[in-house]
Structure 1
Amino acid sequence: MAQQYPGGYGGFEEDTRPGIDAARLWAGGVATAVIAALVAVVGLLIARGIFEVPVLAPKGDGIWGKASTPTYAIAAAVVALLATGLMHLLSVATPAPGQFFGWIMVLVTAIAVVLPLTLTVDLSAKIATAAINLVIGLVIAIVVSSMAANARTVHRKKRSRREPPPPTRQWPEPPTTYYDR
C-alpha cells in the first residue's frame, strides 16, 4: 500500500508491504532443525529406554537401535528445514502465510501420526511412533510460526522527493492592520 501527501503530490511514497528477513528466518530454521532432531532422539530414548517399546528397531537392538535413531533425527531436522522453506515461500507469495502454514502443518502432522498406525508391528510401537511424530510436528509448527512472526518486516521504499504544496497561501508582506480587543 502506498501512502502519499493529500492532493496527489508524491512527496515521498512508501511501499508498506510486509516482507520477511530471510537471514533471521533461515537462522531460526536451522535452530528449529536442531530442536526437531533432539526431540526425535528424546522421544526414542523415552520410548525405548523407559517404556521398552521397540520403536524403529527390533527389540534386541537396545536403547539406541541400529542406524534408525540418527536417521529419524536427521529426517526430523530435514522436515524442519522444509517447513522453514515453506514458510518463506508462503510469506512472500500469499496474503495470510500463517493460516496456510498452520493448515499445511496440521495435515502433514496428521499424516505422520496416522501412517505408523497402519504398519504391521506391535500396537505399542505404533502408538509410540505416532506420539513421537505428533510431538515433532507440533514443535516444528509452533517454533517455525513464532520465529517467522519475529522475522517479518515492513519494507519502506522512498521514491521521488518532490516538495508538497504549501498548506496555505503565502503572502509576500505581513498584514497592515492589527486589531486589538
Structure 2
Amino acid sequence: MASPQGGWDRNYEQPTRPYPAVDPQPEDRPRVDAGKLWAGGFGTAVVAALVALVGILLVRGVLGIHILSPSDAGAYGDATTTTYAFGAFGVAILATGAVHMLLMLMPRPMAFFNWIMLLVVAVGVLIPFTVSAEVESQIATAAINLVIGLCIMSLLNSVAGIATRAGRTVSGDGML
C-alpha cells in the first residue's frame, strides 16, 4: 500500500489535469520580424538625431542659452552639436538591439524595455546637474535629453508592436 508522497519529492508527482498539457514550444513564442524591427529602429535613430539637433538649435538659437559649446560658436554650435546628434542616433540603435534581445528572450519584454528606458532617461536628465554649469544650461540639456529619451521609447514601443507577430495559438481542446 503506497502512501501519498510528502516533503521534497512531492514535486515529482504527475498532477492530473482537466485539460491537455501544452508545453510552450519555440513556435508558440511571438515571432519577431527583424527586418521591420531594425528598419523601424534606424528610423527611430534618425528621428532621435534630428530631435537632438532641433533641440540644440532651439535652445541656442532661439532661447540664447549656451549649451554644449561656447557662446561664440553661433546657433548651431560646433562639432559637439554633431556629436550629440550622433550620440542620440547611437543610443536609439542600442535601444533597438535591446528591444530585439528582450523580444526574443524575456516574458513581457516591453515592460522590461520601458523600465530600462525610463531609468536611462532618468540618468540622462540627472547628469547635466552633476557638472558645473549655469542652471539654465543644465535645465536645457536635461530637457533635450528627456525629449530624446521619450522619443526613442515611444517610437520603439510602436515599432516592436508592429514587428512582433503572434506565434501558434492552441485552442481549449489542445488542437491548433
TM-score class, shorter: 0.7 to 0.9
Letter in 2 for 1:144: L
CA displacement at 1:154 relative to structure 2? 2.8
User: CA distance change for structure 1 residues 28 and 114 in 2, over 3 Å: closer, same or farther?
Assistant: same
RMSD of equivalent CA atoms: 2.2
User: CA distance change for structure 1 residues 38 and 7 in 2, over 3 Å: closer, same or farther?
Assistant: closer
Letter in 2 for 1:47: V
In the TM superposition, structure 1's runs of 4+ consecutive aligned residues that sit over 3 Å from their partners are none
CA displacement at 1:7 relative to structure 2? 8.9
CA displacement at 1:52 relative to structure 2? 0.4
Identity in percent: 47
Instruction: Extract unaligned runs of 5+ from structure 2.
Output: 1-18, 169-174
How many matched pairs? 149
> Under a length normalisation based on structure 2, what TM-score does the superposition of the two structures give?
0.80
- SS of residue matched to 2:121: helix
Counterpart among 92, 102, 122 of residue 90 in structure 1 = 102
Aligned to 1:33: 45
Aligned to 2:142: 130
Tell me the distance in 2 between the aligned counterparts of 1:154 and 1:51. Answer: 48
Could you say which structure has the larger radius of gyration?
1
CA displacement at 1:66 relative to structure 2? 1.3
The answer to which structure has the higher helix fraction is 2
- SS of residue matched to 1:65: coil
CA displacement at 1:26 relative to structure 2? 0.1
Aligned to 1:101: 113
> Under a length normalisation based on structure 1, what TM-score does the superposition of the two structures give?
0.77
Counterpart among 148, 151, 154 of residue 142 in structure 1 = 154
Instruction: Extract unaligned runs of 5+ from structure 1.
Output: 1-5, 157-163, 165-181
Tell me the distance in 1 between the aligned counterparts of 2:83 and 2:43. Answer: 18
Aligned to 1:71: 83
Aligned to 1:23: 35
Counterpart among 124, 129, 139 of residue 117 in structure 1 = 129
